[in-house]
Structure 1
Amino acid sequence: MTTKIRVGVVDQQPLFREGVIVNLEAQPDIEVVSQGASIRDAMQMAQESEPDVIMLDMSLLDSGLDALEAITQQHARAKILLFTLMGDEEKVCSALKRGAQGCLLKGANGRELVQAVRVLHQSESYVSPSLAATLLMRSGPSRVSPAKPVQRFSDLTRREEEILSILGKGRSNKEIGNKLDLSEKTIKHHVTNILQKLQVRNRVEAALVASERTPQRLTLS
């Protein structure tokens, strides 16, 4: 029997939260193990329910990102997927650098919702394509690591450059593998090398750093 992806849902709007839960529980490989409406609920479920993915309303972090960092540091197993509205790009960038693994627009459909959960469960990052495009357009020297991006790219192989350009479009390892006719395992190995060479923590930061050098190569669809 395949182990299901354990998910916790935290959003202060009951109707929205219930809609998310209905969509997730309709999937045979996903189980909603807890729900809540506050940061305190999120921290409690991380400790007691031990979900693989916690879906968290971004507006609950208005008072600061310390709670987000506390969850990711104390409960490393839980991957944080944020719900947000377009227009919170600055906070999204900060949250991704403080430990969140993904961000989903509240206007996303059920299919994207499920895809994002599955992607995070595979220890990958996910950002809604339209939001990722905005992040790339807004990215600048103050939004990425201070090391010079150009120096980092010198170690990338041609294949890694190719994968990075597709990764910047918000594609998962499986989608990149299908496009390049490579196995998902091979892509995962290349992505790990890319993150190490660029000295970044996740796929989104890699795309942001890459956009510093050649933004036209990382245009999102």
Structure 2
Amino acid sequence: MITVVVADDQELVRSGFALILDSQPDIQVVAEVGNGREAVEAVRRHAPEVVLLDIRMPEMDGIAAAEAICRDFSAKVIMLTTFDQDDYIYDALQAGASGFLLKDVRRDDLVHAVRVAAGGEALLAPAVTRRLIDDMVKRNARPGPPPPSLTVLTERERETLTLLGRGLSNAEIAAELVVSEHTVKTHVSNVLTKLGLRDRVQAVITAYESGLLLPGNRP
């Protein structure tokens, strides 16, 4: 059973999402909350596998809540957003979010996203990845911590990171490298472990920040 916390200050949004998710035989919504502080407390109390977080909430916004949850708990965070909130993409992913959903998401896509996140995959559609890269280009002069060194990676692991950066799935990476999906999973795990990355989303960011991929290499 995949346990979920839904956090949104709009009651109709969170109750609608909760209703859809609770109707699934393998998903249970354990809490519905209306702000970021309540979201962090709900995660502490219920230890869910997935958290749906609105970006803009009172008391503590979604970015701050995502950072606290990803730092202290193992829950996967999916940010709820609208097209006019693109500026938040980079900050949310840096905070540890596993991806994004638009608030007008279709029922089937919502359910799929929760299952994908619970399984440890990233929710980075090509359009979102492009906006992320564009945002990184705009911010490239902003001081920040240097990206992890790639010298610890083998040549095949660097190839895997490059393909992760392009947004490819395990099956697509396997086809590119002409190896099995099991082998790809091992390479991905090695990349994340060696570079100290939380998930595939951070691998995408690292691929670009390290210069392994350039902004022109769009998915």
TM-score tier after normalising by the smaller chain length? 0.7 to 0.9
Is the aligned partner of 1:117 residue 2:114?
Answer: yes
Provide closer, same or farther for how the CA distance between residues 205 and 99 of structure 1 changes in structure 2, counting only shifts above 3 A.
closer
From the superposition, tell whether residues 98 and 197 of structure 1 become closer, same or farther in structure 2 (CA, over 3 Å). Answer: same
Q: Secondary structure at the match of 1:126?
A: coil
Paired residue for 1:206? 203
Equivalent of residue 157 in structure 1, options 148, 155, 163: 155
Indicate the percent of aligned positions where both proteins have the same amino acid.
Answer: 35
Partner SS, residue 147 of structure 1: coil
Is contact 1:83–1:104 with CA below 8 Å preserved after alignment?
Answer: yes
State the distance in 1 between where 2:183 and 2:205 align.
23
Q: Are 1:12 and 2:9 an aligned pair?
A: yes
* 3-state SS in 1 of match to 2:66: helix
Q: Which residue, out of 50, 58, 70, partners 1:72?
A: 70
Aligned match of 1:31 = 28
What displacement does 1:182 show?
A: 5.1
Please give the per-residue CA displacement for 1:71-111, whole angstroms capped at 9, x wherever unaligned. Answer: 3333x132211111224334221222223232222243233
1:45 matched to 2:42? The reply is yes
- Residue of 115, 123, 132 corresponding to 2:129: 132
How far does the alpha carbon of each residue in 1:159-201 deviate from its partner, in whole angstroms, 9 at most, with x for none?
651x434433444445645776755443222112223455544
- How many positions carry a matched residue from both structures? 214
Cα distance in 2, alignment partners of residues 125 and 32 from structure 1: 21
Structure 2 contact 51–78 (Cα < 8 Å) conserved:
yes
Q: Could you tell me how far apart the structure 2 residues matched to 1:132 and 1:61 are?
A: 28
Which residue is equivalent to 2:146? 147
Q: 2:90 aligns with which of 70, 88, 93?
A: 93
Shift of 1:136: 1.6
CA gap 1:82/1:148 in 2 versus in 1, 3 angstroms: closer
2:165 to 168, 179, 197: 168
TM-score, scaled relative to structure 1: 0.76
Structure 1: gaps spanning 5 or more residues? none
Q: What letter matches 1:8 in structure 2?
A: V
Q: Show CA shifts across 1:123-147 (max 9, x none).
A: 3332343212211233233579643
Q: Within 1, Cα distance between the matches of 2:74 and 2:198?
A: 16
- CA separation of 1:115 and 1:170: change in aligned 2, threshold 3 A: farther
Unaligned runs of 5+ in 2: none
Letter in 1 for 2:183: T
| SS of corresponding position for 1:60 | coil
Q: Give the partner amino acid of 2:34.
A: A
Contact 2:9–2:58 (Cα < 8 Å) also in 1: no
The CA deviation at 1:207 is 1.8
* Structure 1 residue matching 2:129: 3-state secondary structure: helix
